Structure 1
Amino acid sequence: MIKKVLLLCLFLGTYTWAQGLALEKRIGQMLMVGFHGTHASKESQICKDIETYNLGAVILFDYNPVDKTKPKNIASKEQLARLTQDLQACSSDGKLLIAVDQEGGKVQRLKRRYGFYGQFPKASDVTKMDQNSIKETYTKMSEELSSVGINYDLAPVVDLDINRKNHVIHGLGRSFGKDPEVVAAYASAFIDAMHSHGVLTSIKHFPGHGSSVGDTHKGFVDVTNLWQEVELEPYRLLKEKADTVMVAHVFNQKIDATYPASLSYKTITKLLRWKLGYHGVVITDDLQMGAISQKYGLKNTLRLAINAGDDILLIGNQLDPKKTVTTQTLVETISSLVQSGEVTEEHINRAYKRIQGLKKRL
């Protein structure tokens, strides 16, 4: 009985504590945004956003879609270390999530031309290596990320390599193979190596992108007739180990006949959380990808994503220079959804609590 009372007090204490923080600052924790700039002075917009809205996360890119002659966020080792240090100094808790996509192969933001190693192998080549070499490779990657203040790697990919016509996973060698147990074992080695230097991870792309043909960056991708239930297996196997799960924008009528995975309550809450038993942080793939932006407006996208059970909403401000969305717009839009009752404050508090739990791992 005493234990139950203590647990209730703890829950109410956490809830009251979250309630005590202004709504916009709880919403801010749910956002991961991309921005332009290789520095973050106190006067910079990104620093002001981190301070004003309690922004939870940023995502960094090397390629600048606005001016190809200039870097977006990454120019050199020294510059990147200084940038991440400045960004952390803007945050109230020093636990701003600073993310990149660093898988190896084609997908590595810390490139050789900026002074980084830049030659980490793609997943399909890692499978040809022995255990010691794999551990060494991924430990070296985590050490490099950590050395420049990156504390969140949006990797590893746990999609199964089950469709040879798939350009975005199979074509780029981003999968560890067809067997879910083998894939989970390699992903587990990746996660362990990242944790050895305090870097958080995200397994992706739930509920499976390996069977697809299209690319969600460019538009609507329907996997209904190609997707196989075995694609869920890596998530079941890694549910206790995964720091976060990234949800894809694929549409699968077998799971949800109305919405793509990233905006689907049936996919995120019913399937990932209830059926598979994953209770950690869920992050969306970039909500500005064509699969979403071509069909849903910003307000609808945010409403559906939050109600589906997503915790971190990723707005990369990378894919279309004409469609940059400010942190202020995001916070105000979500606040208005709460005021109108289209999103409950309970959803915000739940996400906030999960994100605080994740940050305790840093």
Structure 2
Amino acid sequence: MSAEVKSSVSTVLSEALTALDAGEVVASRELAVRAKELCGDSFALANAALVRGYVEQTAGEVEYALDRFECARALAERHCDTPEGISLYVHATTSAATIYRLRGWYAEAERLLLTTLDRAGAAADREDIVTLCNELGVVFKYSGKFDAAAGFYDKALGLLSGASSVELATIHHNIAGLAHARGDYAAAEGPARRAIAVRTDVLGPDHPDVAADCAALAPILLELGAVEEAESLLRRAVEIFESTFGTEHYEVGISIGNLAAVMHQAGRKAEAESYYGRSLSILENILGARHPELAPVLYNFAQMIVETDSAGAREALERARVSLVSARVEESHPTLVSINSSLDELKAEKSNGNHVGES
């Protein structure tokens, strides 16, 4: 492929990513398709497939996104004898692993990432190792292997020491998420606020990634009793997500579920129930009815209705439990432990009620 054509492919893919960052999914897809038509070798095709995967993932076309990421990975594997090829291989791998994680296929994501980390080794640059370690941390957090997650986040943070970048903000965001999952809300607040500060400085206050940081801080503040700030952060996050991605996007569903929890804690149960219903509808349409990321929303919903509708609460808890067990999370996973405890309490109450009613 001539240098001129190679430059054209690179330029069009860069334009596609710029359009995607601006929320212009249709324009981004058209540019990615045009770039593929210009490609003349497997390396260029791998780059085009990776960008197309990003577009389709943003559009909610997860199946097709995974197909493009796996295609990019297979093509990039031919070029792992060069630094550029290794970097492309790492990004295609982490993108595919992200889809596996979103589907709840945690063991598969772990194997893919660990194999790639071992293969990349000393040949990969620092940024690529950070990318792999970060995604490994996220996967291990979701599967309940918190110590392993912390180890990978620490490694990534050490490699970014002294930097001020989007990558640094992402690591702080994820460290806060891990502390939140562990129930250590005081430890979670600091890195969550650092993520917002760093990313706002780099991307500006209205970027969807900043909105994601705000949405992550909100439930931490809710646990610490700062209900008004939590609500304000979530409403701002939902506004940015809906403006960027539309009303039926994954990030909208997650944020509305968290907003429902805020309404519940504030005693506004009618609003909370409406938000829980909308959150579950969005997430089920995107992820399926048995995905583990529905579990926290179902658990919180069950806690709200348990006193007025114990049967409905039991049904929500059973659904949440099945979604986590199907994903093979650790038995010590805090959400699964809380769900099992709530189910045991409901069973005991039902048993006691039956016993009292006997003659």
Q: TM-score, normalised by structure 2?
A: 0.31
More strand by share: 1
Structure-1-length-normalised TM-score: 0.31
Greater RCO structure (CA 8 Å; 6+ sep): 1
Which one has a bigger Cα radius of gyration? 2
Greater share of helix residues, 1 or 2?
Answer: 2
